[in-house]
Amino acid sequence: MHIHFIIHEAFEAPGAYEQWARMHHHTITYSRVYLGEPLPNCIDDIDFLIVMGGPQSPSTTKQECAHFDSIAEQAVILSMINAGKIVIGVCLGAQLIGEALGASHAQSPEKEIGKFPITLTQLGKTNPLFTDFGNTLEVGHWHNDMPGLTKDAQIIAYSTGCPRQIIAYNKFVYGFQCHMEFTPEVVELLIVHSQKELNQAANYRFVDTPETLRSHDYTAMNQKLFTFLDKLSQHYQSSLKK
């Protein structure tokens, strides 16, 4: 498969998503917009779009962040969805999927930075792509907002701090407000660029200190992500043969 990443900042790296793509020897291309790389102008040969997170929001303007074009990204996302391709959005990426489908993002009830459990809904428990997640799963978090819900969207998982952690928009389109891609290297990049937020950890229920962030083991959630991606890609490839 051909997997294309849209990456907004160097410190919002694809982590375990990229590891999975390399393990399976998929073709990988990038739009590292923070380096001025363009968004794809043709999606015909792209099977799988992964839109990463960032400090921006879907309402951020080009005047506020010159390298981020929310409207253009939403157009690419919508083209992929309409073509029946796989689309995954992570954090900001999840919010952009909702916006592209006409559902406005919202502020999450709680700021979450760290590793905290998510709980699967009944819809999540019965979705075959998530059967390996169990009832609850500890995953990474680094957010203030959450994606919007379309009339057909299904909430797959929630947390105490955020009611919209994983959203199924259709059988090939998923929004992950949580960060199952975290690795020690990605977390270290985020720590370096988030000193102000992390210095205020004591003021929030769900914000870890840098020391705690570094102490977490992210391997188990990475493996659950790999299983989900395996199932999703197999489901997509099977659909192409029909």
CA angle 71, 108, 78 (to 5 degrees): 25
Domain spanning 2-233: CATH 3.40.50.880: yes
pLDDT tens per residue across all 242 residues of the chain: 999 999 999 999 999 999 999 999 999 999 999 999 999 999 999 999 999 999 999 999 999 999 999 999 999 999 999 999 999 999 999 999 999 999 999 999 999 999 999 999 999 999 999 999 999 999 999 999 999 999 999 999 999 999 999 999 999 999 999 999 999 999 999 999 998 889 888 888 999 999 999 999 999 999 999 999 999 999 999 988 76
Q: Which residue blocks in the chain are alpha helix, DSSP H? A: 16-23, 70-82, 92-100, 122-126, 184-192, 195-198, 210-215, 219-240
Q: What is the largest CA-CA distance in the chain?
A: 54
Domain ranges of the chain: 2-233
pTM beyond 0.95: the answer is yes
pLDDT of residue 6: 98
Predicted pLDDT at 197: 85
Whether 173 contacts 161, CB under 8 Å: no
